[in-house]
Amino acid sequence: MCKLGNMERVDKRLALSYYLAFRYVFNDIVFAPGIKRQQYHRIPDDIKTLVGSAEDVDIALSNTFRMITNERLGILLSGGMDSAVLASYMSKGSDAYTFRFLGGKFAEDELQRAEKYADYCGLNLHYVDIDWNVVESCVDVCMLYKGAPVHSIEPQLYYAAKQAKNDGVTMLLIGDGADYVFGGMSGLYSRDWSYDEFFKRYIYIDPKDVLADPADINPVFEQYRLGPNSIDFLRLLDEIFTDESYASYENSIEAAGMCFIDPYSHLKLSRPLDLSRLRNGAPKYIIQELFRIRYCDLPVPQKNPMPRPVDFYFADWEGPTRREFINNINLKIYSGDQKWLLWCAERYLNLINV
C-alpha cells in the first residue's frame, strides 16, 4: 500500500467534520502530526473496459477471470446479485465467504440466498461469524492502517480477509463496484435534487449538530453547484461517494495482507445511465439482465446493503463524552450507522491520543 509522503495537512477539526458528514476523510487531511494516510488507488477511466449491455459485461467478466492465473480465488458472497453474478464465473470448488451475524439470526434471507448461490455454482462455502467482540478486536488495526476512523463494514471485511488468507486464498473477489458503475444507489438516483435538498439527503451527520467546534463542509458541495440551487449530483456521486466506498474495501482487505479485485470497478458504461429505468424500479438493470442469464431459474434478488447489525450493537450506547462533542447528543434521532460514526470517531481520537 502506498502512503502519502509529506502532503498531509493537519486539521483535526476539519478531519472530524469530514468523517461525520461523508464517512470519509479526504486523503490530504490528517488528525494529528505524524499520521500517514491510506492512499486510495482510483482506476483511471481510460483503462476501463466500455460496456453497454449484459452481453458486454458477460464478455468483460469472462475475460477478467481468464486473465487471473496463479491465484487461489475466494469471493465475498452476499445474498445480492452483484456477488452472485461474479460467483457464477468461478471454478467449481472455489472458496466463498459469507457473513453470518448473531448466530445466523440477523439478515437470514441474505444468508439463505448466499447459501443457494454457493450451491448453484458448486462453491465451497465458509461462514464468517461476526459479533461485537470481533468488530471491536479488528477496528483499531483498520483505523491505524487507514490513518482515520473507518466505515462500519471495515472490521468485518478485515476479519473475512484474514480468514480467507489463513485458508490459503491468495486473491479475494468483491462486487462493490456494481452499485457505482451500473446505478445501484436507487435512493440517490430517484430524483433531480436541488442543491439544498441533496446536501441534507447526502450527508450522514451534520457536524454542527454534534460537534462543539464544527468545520464548514459546504466547500465540498460548492464545487458541484449548478446555478443558484442546483447540483451536479451524478458527478459528486462518481467522484466522492465511489471513492469513500472503494477506499473502505481497499483499506480493510489490504490491512489484512490480502490481494483483491473488484471486476466491476474495471468497467465503464459506454453511454449514460438510463435514469428513467432506474427510477421505474430497475436499479442496475444491466446486472439484473446478466443475473437472469447466469441464473435463469432463480429470481433476481432485491438490492440490500452489506448486512451489519449496528442498531443492535448501539441500542444501549450512551454517546460520546470527549470535549470535541456537544453534551447530551439526542441519540434517539440517529440510526445505528450514524451512532457508529460517533463511536468510531471518538475511539480513533482516543487511539491516537489527541
Of the chain, the percentage scoring pLDDT greater than 70 comes to 97
Paired with 54 in beta bridges are: none
Characterize the bridge pairing of strands 95-101 and 259-261. Answer: unpaired
Give the count of beta carbons closer than 10 Å to the beta carbon of residue 332.
5
Q: Is the pLDDT of residue 1 over 50?
A: no
What is the predicted pLDDT for the residue at 295? 96
Q: Is the pLDDT of residue 8 over 80?
A: no
Q: What is the pLDDT of residues 253-309, one digit of tens each?
A: 999 999 999 999 999 999 999 999 999 989 999 999 999 999 999 999 976 777 889
Local confidence band at 326 (pLDDT 50, 70, 90 cut-offs): very high
What is the predicted pLDDT for the residue at 73? 97
Local confidence band at 243 (pLDDT 50, 70, 90 cut-offs): confident
Average pLDDT over residues 327-345: 97
- Give DSSP secondary structure letters for 334-347: S-HHHHHHHHHHHH
Q: What is the pLDDT of residues 75-122, one digit of tens each?
A: 999 999 999 999 999 999 999 999 999 877 787 888 999 999 999 999
Local confidence band at 7 (pLDDT 50, 70, 90 cut-offs): low
CB 269 within 8 A of CB 182: yes
CB 285 within 8 A of CB 274: yes
Three-state DSSP at 132 gives: helix
Average pLDDT over residues 125-145: 97
Single pTM value for the model: 0.94
Specify the amino acid at residue 272: P
In the chain the domains, ranked by start, together with CATH numbers, are: 9-352 (3.40.50.620)
Q: What share of the chain is helix, strand, coil (3-state, %, to 5)?
A: 50, 10, 40
Q: Is the pLDDT of residue 220 over 70?
A: yes
- Identify the burial level of 32 via C-beta atoms within 10 angstroms of its C-beta, where 0-12 means exposed, 13-18 middle and 19 or more buried: middle
What is the predicted pLDDT for the residue at 112? 92
